[in-house]
Chain A
Amino acid sequence: MKKQKQDNPFNLLPEEIIFIILDLLNRNSLAIKSFSLVCKSFYAVESKHRCSLKPLRQERFPALLSRYPNITHLDLTLCSRVSDASLSLVSHSCASSLRSIDFSRTRLFSTYGLLGLALNCKNIVEIDLSNATELKDSAMAAVAEAKNLEKLSLARCKSITDMGVGCVAVGCRKLRFICLKWCFGVGDLGIGLLAVKCKHLCFLNLSYLPITNKCLSSISKLQHLEELVLEGCFGIEDDSLAVLKHGCNSLKSLDVSTCQNISHNGLPSLINGALGLRQLTLAHGSPVTSSLADCLRKHSMLQSVKLDGCLVTDDGLKTIGNWCASLRELSLSKCSGVTDEGLSSVVTKHRDLRKLDITCCRKITDASIASITNSCKSLTSLRVESCTLVTREAFVLIGQRCHLLEELDLTDNEVDDKGLNYISRCSELSSLKLGICLNITDEGLIHIGKGCSKLVELDLYRSEEITDSAILAIAQGCPGLEMINIAYCKYITDRSLLSLSKCPQLKMLESRGCSLITSLGLKAVAVGCKELTKLDIKKCHNIDDAGMLPLARFSQNLRQINLSHSSVTDIGLLSLASISCLQNMTILHLKGLTPAGLAAVLLACGGLTKVKLQATFRWLLPLRLVQYLESRGCMFQWKDKVLQEKLDPKSWKLQLEDLMA
């Protein structure tokens, strides 16, 4: 043993080198874990090295915090509840090292915990308090004690008002980033004061705030403001946007989507001052006509424009084509009025486009695809979901001409095997969505499996012709696969799951309605895919308790599971309690589920935060139990949906089209 230790080359390495090695290992949590379990010295080195921590429950804080003394980033998103006592423990253990803390999905802590944190952790620069709907202004006063704070997210903190924001503005003078989305209680006064006091602000998200033009003039005086998000600010109107005419030279990104009261009359004053603008989002706003597009003609820095959901005219698109900027990113998702002519005039001018989104542009035909692929050869992302007039021949062009594609969304299109054969030439492809593509078969997917080895995400939802051999080809060809959706592919059997079990990175598996797969297949996945975090086996009638046991044993990273309509009973569910990070469970229409068993399951799974249950159980479970579970941080959703008849994909699609017509 002793001799071994001397031979250990790691003893010769200085700590810094080992740290670098650990940095490289960092992407794989399992690797780090096994490293620290090798020996005591490795354990010590790893403890010393680790700077970010994502604990599961607050009960483990004492042990974790004494093991890792150098934590700078603490992510509490997995702890649904963190008490003030735990928080005080954190603030004392990580007193000077802690720089960032994330509470975005955490509850229970209060003003006092935050105050202790702010006062003890002097070096803290980042706090995320999103979704802390119960926090009041007093909590903001506590946050304001963190004098070095640079980044603060308060999204959905509905109970805070101008007073709280005022405290933060006065206390945290170094603030550079603040998100106040959905803080409905905050108005002009708070924002105005923030802009007056925090001169270094460079990111400001004011989405859905009841602010008016009054605070815009002080915002425009911010010298370093780079990104301004005003999504859904209905109080901002054309009339006094003129105050911004000469301000905001530093602005690089502006989002005024869903601002219904800003039209093409007001936009110029909003935009003209910011000549350095790189990113502009006008989604769900006023119609994009040539007069609107014209006011951006001279913005040579512009790189990304998002017009999602706007009415876009041909003239507007032509004017965009004449901009002096060369766009990298253009989103026309769900834009009505996009025609072949308009789209062609844009893409022929902006040949450097990297990302193009034409989701649901239902008027475009093969001509558009031809001109897109002809002009924009360096596209990395193309989304053409539901462009129903595009024929199967057009998809060949995509594969022929755009070899750099990394993301391709062909959901609900006519693409066929020949098209897929050409698309398989895109060797960089990492995300491919082929949901509701009824023309594709195994043949096409085998090509994809051979050509696209970097595939990470594959969506085959309701592509009903797919069978096991396609999945085998994918699993063999794409070892890095992380997400796959084979829902309602009715020919899929356990053999597919067996193939998928060879993908060690698999994190998300959805196989709804694959009635042929059984517990055996699931077992293989559980054993092979240790990273599995999300599993949806709704309507897999042949999966029973036998499938749950291996899951419980091997899939220790499972967080979310949907078992509705399966044959799992109390016993299988109860075994899942050993998965400590299981948080989200949907268990509707389980025939073998009894109230007593359910009660035991709910009590045993201590980490649950969200459970979907049939409404009938609401009255069958003891009220005290429900109250206790709720106090433990578990939310219940009671569903009262009647069982729907199963539909085959074609009739499902027909029904969908009927609905749309």
Chain B
Amino acid sequence: MDLKDKVPQHPSFTQHQQKWEDPSILDYSTRIGSPFLAFNQSHTSMLSDNRIKAPVQDGVVNQLVQASKVQDWDPSAMLDNLSFLEQKIHQLQDLVHLIIGRKGQVLGRPDELVVQQQQLVTADLTSIIVQLISTAGSLLPSGKHTLPAATPSLEQSGQFGGVVFPSAQGPLNDGFQPQNAGGSKVSGLPNSVDISRKNGNEQNHIIEEHELKDEEDVEEGESLIPGTYEILQLEKEEILAPHTHFCTICGKGFKRDANLRMHMRGHGDEYKTPGALAKPNKESGSEPTIIKRYSCPYTGCKRNKDHKKFQPLKTILCVKNHYKRTHCDKSYICSRCNTKKFSVIADLKTHEKHCGKDKWLCSCGTTFSRKDKLFGHIALFQGHTPAIPLEEAKAPAGPSDQGDGNQSTNKVGSMNFNFSSNVSSESEVQSSTDIKGSIDDPAGYFSPLSFDTCNFGGFHEFPRPPFDDSESSLAFLLSGSCNYPQKSED
């Protein structure tokens, strides 16, 4: 919980990167190349374990990285650069605030003043840009992953209010208010950034050779770059406590928001302002917020930070739901069907909404609330077939059946239809009912759809595939019997 103190300068650095990537993150199709992950794997282990586990190896890697371009990269120099930039940006911000504050008075004035102000802002912006360019090289020692997407995306251009930026310009976004950023003024930038990215790629080739093994481990499809976030781990008691308000810094839970705000004062002076203590209306944006990820306290769980293929949880709510779903008893039983059990009451309520309405039926007896789920199920399993509801099968051929009774007198005796055809597949019912639960498992728990709830101070998440969806379906195919809580398979 108090990881933050121990992790030195990296969080702030990574957090900046995170910010800059914002536009490109919006492009959901963006995927970070695995070489990046390979590199960052080691970085993560350093960050998350707090103990710099493999100093030798990391040292080698870092040396290699630096050797190719930024030979004399120095964290402290970089920090200087960064704080200079920060200072500049703050100045500019203040200026703009001032302008906004005086806007009411300005309204009546001639346009000259506005023009002057614009020029002032422009000048400051230019100086920041120049600074950025000049420090770009030193800013990007491990910065390969700051530029994951080279192609401009539509969503992005939407973000910029019509000004189309190549996503390589992402780093600028946070410093500039989009309205102020003139597209022409930054036109020279992408080239320089591109070059540094290329170099980054070269570096990665070197890294690859050394860290192939790590790469394999990461290939699982985790799209968040390890090392760019802080990992928090709540205790079991904390998770199960009935809190609804959580501290975004340490994760402590509270029953009332007011208590949380009181608690926040302990995290620093910035939370002591009347604004922070007042009822929150909007995030103030300028506050540096660190991307946080959560670890499940259950040892051996894939969501536990010590797991080899650790996949962090996004929010405290995710932690709570994950922990209850996978590591707790399912004590809520559906009162309608008396079979389905849940450990999260919201799940029960969702289920009860649809319980009994599952009209999409498979020959194995499994029911589905959605047709596409049924068809996905049938496509996966040999021998399963859609089951036609009985009432339809029983219905007579058509209304025009009269007048034909006589014709069928003689030969009807020979009719012996085998109606047991559907029964033949019923033997499979028993063997496959245990699959049911997991197929029904909505893939959306950790899907990108939950972005809204996982919004950290306005920062968007990295795109990630729906949790375990493809993996779990594969697991079914391979092993006939399946254990639903497979997230804790180790």
A113 contacts across to B, CB distance below 8 A? 397
- A119 and B417 within 8 A (CB): yes
Q: Does A533 belong to the interface (CB within 8 Å)? A: no
Contact with B along A61-88 (1 / 0, CB 8 A): 0100000000000000000010111101
A613 to B83, CA, bound (A): 94
In-complex Cβ contact of B407 among A85, A138, A140, A166 (8 A): A85
In-complex Cβ contact of A134 among B397, B403, B404, B415 (8 A): B397
Which A residues from 115 to 154 make CB contacts under 8 A with B?
115-116, 119, 134, 136-138, 140-141, 144-145
Q: Does B423 belong to the interface (CB within 8 Å)? A: no
Name the segment of A297-305, A626-634, A650-658 touching the other chain: A626-634
A81 to B385, CA, bound (A): 31
- B392 and A632 within 8 A (CB): no
A189 contacts across to B, CB distance below 8 A? 371-372, 375
Q: Does A108 belong to the interface (CB within 8 Å)? A: yes
A108-B401, A166-B385 given; A83·B407 CB < 8 A: yes
In-complex Cβ contact of A88 among B386, B395, B415 (8 A): B415
- B398 and A167 within 8 A (CB): no
Which B residues from 362 to 387 make CB contacts under 8 A with A?
371-372, 375, 378-379, 383-386
CB of B314 to closest CB in A, whole Å: 29
Q: Does B479 belong to the interface (CB within 8 Å)? A: no
Name the segment of A190-198, A265-273, A334-342, A481-489 touching the other chain: A190-198
- B417 and A86 within 8 A (CB): no
A170 (CB) vs chain B CBs: closest residue: B385
A86-B407, A89-B411, A141-B422 given; A110·B397 CB < 8 A: yes
Which B residues from 63 to 97 make CB contacts under 8 A with A?
none
- A115 and B417 within 8 A (CB): yes
CB of A117 to closest CB in B, whole Å: 10
- B408 and A138 within 8 A (CB): no
A632 to B411, CA, bound (A): 20
A81 contacts across to B, CB distance below 8 A? 404
- A136 and B392 within 8 A (CB): yes
Q: Does A404 belong to the interface (CB within 8 Å)? A: no
- A631 and B407 within 8 A (CB): no
CB of B216 to closest CB in A, whole Å: 28
- A163 and B388 within 8 A (CB): yes
A145 to B423, CA, bound (A): 12
A163 to B385, CA, bound (A): 9
Q: Does B400 belong to the interface (CB within 8 Å)? A: yes
A162 to B375, CA, bound (A): 9
- A631 and B403 within 8 A (CB): yes
Q: Does B421 belong to the interface (CB within 8 Å)? A: yes
A83-B404, A115-B421, A171-B385 given; A166·B375 CB < 8 A: yes
B372 contacts across to A, CB distance below 8 A? 189
A580 contacts across to B, CB distance below 8 A? none
- A92 and B414 within 8 A (CB): yes
SS of A interface (majority): helix
Q: Does A260 belong to the interface (CB within 8 Å)? A: no
In-complex Cβ contact of B384 among A62, A92, A112, A170 (8 A): A170
- A88 and B385 within 8 A (CB): no
Which A residues from 155 to 195 make CB contacts under 8 A with B?
162-164, 166-167, 170-171, 189-190, 192-193
A85 contacts across to B, CB distance below 8 A? 407-408, 411-412, 415
- B397 and A111 within 8 A (CB): yes
Q: Does B427 belong to the interface (CB within 8 Å)? A: no
- B400 and A107 within 8 A (CB): yes
- A163 and B386 within 8 A (CB): yes
CB of A358 to closest CB in B, whole Å: 45
In-complex Cβ contact of B388 among A141, A170, A197, A630 (8 A): A141
- B385 and A116 within 8 A (CB): no
B418 contacts across to A, CB distance below 8 A? 115-116, 119
- B378 and A112 within 8 A (CB): no
A632 to B404, CA, bound (A): 8
B404 (CB) vs chain A CBs: closest residue: A83
A92 to B413, CA, bound (A): 11
B422 contacts across to A, CB distance below 8 A? 141
Q: Does B104 belong to the interface (CB within 8 Å)? A: no
A647 to B198, CA, bound (A): 83
A162 to B388, CA, bound (A): 11
- A196 and B379 within 8 A (CB): yes
Q: Does B396 belong to the interface (CB within 8 Å)? A: yes
A108 to B421, CA, bound (A): 23
- A192 and B388 within 8 A (CB): no
Which has the most chain B C-beta neighbours within 10 Å: A116, A141, A145, A190? A141
- A145 and B397 within 8 A (CB): no
- B371 and A141 within 8 A (CB): no
B408 contacts across to A, CB distance below 8 A? 83-86
Contact with A along B115-149 (1 / 0, CB 8 A): 00000000000000000000000000000000000
Q: Does A212 belong to the interface (CB within 8 Å)? A: no
CB of A623 to closest CB in B, whole Å: 15
Q: Does B393 belong to the interface (CB within 8 Å)? A: yes
A138 contacts across to B, CB distance below 8 A? 388, 392-393, 395
Q: Does A109 belong to the interface (CB within 8 Å)? A: yes
A140 contacts across to B, CB distance below 8 A? 388
A112 to B386, CA, bound (A): 18
B375 (CB) vs chain A CBs: closest residue: A189
Which A residues from 465 to 504 make CB contacts under 8 A with B?
none
Q: Does A96 belong to the interface (CB within 8 Å)? A: no
A133 to B371, CA, bound (A): 23
Which has the most chain A C-beta neighbours within 10 Å: B379, B396, B408, B412? B379
Which has the most chain A C-beta neighbours within 10 Å: B410, B412, B421? B421
A190 to B385, CA, bound (A): 12
B412 (CB) vs chain A CBs: closest residue: A85
Which A residues from 610 to 634 make CB contacts under 8 A with B?
628, 630-632
B381 (CB) vs chain A CBs: closest residue: A170
A110 to B393, CA, bound (A): 10
A185 to B308, CA, bound (A): 48
Q: Does B402 belong to the interface (CB within 8 Å)? A: yes
A181 to B402, CA, bound (A): 30
A58-B407, A189-B372, A628-B403 given; A88·B417 CB < 8 A: yes
B384 contacts across to A, CB distance below 8 A? 170
- A89 and B414 within 8 A (CB): yes
Q: Does A23 belong to the interface (CB within 8 Å)? A: no
A326 to B383, CA, bound (A): 47
A58 (CB) vs chain B CBs: closest residue: B407
- Give the interface of B toward A (CB within 8 A): 371-372, 375, 378-379, 383-386, 388, 392-393, 395-398, 400-404, 407-408, 410-412, 414-415, 417-419, 421-422
- Give the interface of A toward B (CB within 8 A): 58-59, 62, 81, 83-86, 88-89, 92, 107-113, 115-116, 119, 134, 136-138, 140-141, 144-145, 162-164, 166-167, 170-171, 189-190, 192-193, 196-197, 628, 630-632
- CB-based closest 4 A-B pairs: A110-B397, A85-B408, A170-B385, A138-B393
12 A–B pairs (Cβ distance < 8 Å), ordered by A: A62-B411, A88-B415, A109-B397, A134-B398, A137-B388, A141-B386, A141-B393, A166-B378, A167-B385, A171-B385, A189-B371, A631-B402
